[in-house]
Amino acid sequence: MAAVRLGILGGTFDPVHLGHLVLAEQAREQLDLGRVLWVPAGEPWRKPERPVSAAEHRLTMVRLATDGHEAFEASAMEIERGGPSYSAETLGALREQRPGSELFFILGADALQDLPNWREPERIVQLATVVVAAREGERAPPGELEGLVPGLSKRVAWVEMPRIDISASDLRRRAAEGRSLRYLVPAAVEAYIREHGLYRGS
């Protein structure tokens, strides 16, 4: 497999929405990524407080959302691996599978602050450049980054993106109430949610 500048966007994607797509596209464009790999978590260990939709539903929604973008690719690697989904393991596997590729691990600003609580955050920083979405003036200074994870300040790349206040929890609530998700998720994802009755029992 050819070596590329490879972006990795992980998440529960329950459901995937336009905020995820804008983040992935801004990272692709601003960092000249050849490909962005979307990796739905098999078992999201950081979200034990709520039921999560079946992995096959979340993977299908990601495939529907990214269909037609030549640089976007949905991956079932964490689902197929089984057990809790740890980003450090995923990045390690990608390093072995795609030797020579430069890895860029894409995060939202909230996830950056939570990074110290993840499994092996130092290994994540060693394996990939950590890409963080932030508006101008919201970038954490080097000292704060080093306080989160040693070495992070030298392994971070910032991407500018507009503030898009769409949350998956709000989308699930809207779907449970039978309300429209139009213009918040791709049309194909909205149709899939409706067809399969996702979140109606939430």
Closest CA to 36 of 48, 26, 47, 46: 26
Amino acid identity for residue 31 in this structure: L
pLDDT at 46: 64
Beta strand 35-40 with 129-133 is unpaired
SS3 content of the chain, % helix, strand, coil (to 5): 45, 15, 40
Closest CA to 193 of 57, 52, 23: 57
pTM: 0.94
Amino acid identity for residue 73 in this structure: E
Classify residue 192 by its DSSP letter: H
Residue 187 is encoded by which pair of tokens? 């049309």
pLDDT at 49: 67
Place of tokens 């970038």: 139
* Residues 18 and 163 sit within 8 Å (Cβ to Cβ): no
pLDDT at 47: 59
pLDDT at 1: 66
Residue ranges in the chain whose pLDDT is less than 50: none
Domains of the chain: 5-164 (3.40.50.620)
For 26, residues 6+ apart whose C-beta sits below 8 A from its C-beta are: 133, 159, 160, 161
